[in-house]
Amino acid sequence: MIELVRLVSGLVLWAIAFSTLYALHGLGCSLGWSKQVVFGLSQSRMLLLAAWILFVAIQCGLLRRMARQKETHLDWMARAIGWIGLVATLVTGLPIIAISSCV
Q: Binning pLDDT at 50, 70 and 90, where does residue 23 land?
A: very high
Other residues' Cβ atoms within 10 Å of the Cβ of residue 16 = 13
The whole-number pLDDT of residue 66 equals 86
Q: What burial class does residue 20 get, using C-beta atoms within 10 Å of its C-beta: 0-12 exposed, 13-18 middle, 19+ buried? A: middle
- Residues 27, 29, 34: CA angle, nearest 5 degrees: 120
| Bigger pLDDT: 66 vs 22 | 22
Q: Per residue in 31-56, pLDDT tens?
A: 888 888 888 888 999 999 999 999 99
| Bigger pLDDT: 4 vs 26 | 26
Per DSSP, the three-state class of 38 is: strand
The whole-number pLDDT of residue 80 equals 92
Q: Per residue in 67-97, pLDDT tens?
A: 887 788 888 898 999 999 999 999 999 998 8
Alpha carbon distance 46, 65 (integer Å): 29
